Amino acid sequence: MPTSNTNRLMPKLRIHDAAEALDFYKQAFGAVEVYRLTTPSGTVINAEMQIEGMPFIVAEENLDSGMPSPITLGGTTCQVDLQVADVDALAERAIAAGALVIFPISDQFYGMRQGQLQDPFGHRWNIGMVTEPMTGEEMQRRFNAMMQGES
């Protein structure tokens, strides 16, 4: 749990078999486990993980509280965007650990090298790295040009 009143926003991934997911995130993304809170039977109630210093929470799905996992839902309602220094190396590592490629890593018009993976627990991860910093206005200009078939 947080140890100070620092402002922060962290995704909390509800997972069917959260304990297994912790191991996957370590192997696939090089995640570091900060802490793990479990029931006497070993169910993960809350575990904080960090990928390159960026925190997120993993917890077992809880159907009684209306918090199912993507496996139970048959899909997910959100995706996690992860920006790293070397997206190609991260993608390779995650795929070797069992992630499914949804969109291959490629250069995007908005100045990123990016793709999308799905972890074995049903969560979608947009992983990418900035290749060309740009303003929102420039992204919109390029998008408009792309939609009109221009270069």
The answer to whether position 102 is within a domain reads yes
Residue 145, pLDDT score: 93
Q: What is the CATH number of the domain that holds 83?
A: 3.10.180.10
The answer to whether position 5 is within a domain reads no
pLDDT of residue 37 exceeding 80: yes
Residue 8, pLDDT score: 77
Residue 39: give the domain boundaries. 12-147
Report how far residue 8's alpha carbon sits from residue 55's, in angstroms, rounded to the nearest whole number. Answer: 9
Residue 7, pLDDT score: 76
Average pLDDT over residues 117-132: 97
pLDDT of residue 5 exceeding 80: no
The answer to whether position 36 is within a domain reads yes
The answer to whether position 2 is within a domain reads no
The answer to whether position 18 is within a domain reads yes
Residue 46, pLDDT score: 96
pLDDT of residue 65 exceeding 90: yes
pLDDT of residue 150 exceeding 70: no
* CA 83 to chain centroid: 9
Residue 1, pLDDT score: 52
pLDDT per position as a tens digit, 13-36? 999 999 999 999 999 999 999 999
pLDDT per position as a tens digit, 66-121? 999 999 999 998 999 999 999 999 999 999 999 999 999 999 999 999 999 999 99
Q: Are 28 and 20 in contact (CB under 8 A)?
A: no
Domains: count for the chain: 1
Q: What angle do CA 53, 59, 61 make, to 5 degrees?
A: 145
The answer to whether position 45 is within a domain reads yes
The answer to whether position 69 is within a domain reads yes
Strands 44-51 and 54-60: antiparallel
Which burial class, exposed, middle or buried, applies to 28 when counting CB atoms under 10 A from its CB (0-12, 13-18, 19+)?
buried
Report how far residue 75's alpha carbon sits from residue 23's, in angstroms, rounded to the nearest whole number. Answer: 22
Average pLDDT over residues 25-52: 96
Report how far residue 60's alpha carbon sits from residue 69's, in angstroms, rounded to the nearest whole number. Answer: 8
The answer to whether position 3 is within a domain reads no
pLDDT of residue 124 exceeding 60: yes
Residue 28, pLDDT score: 97
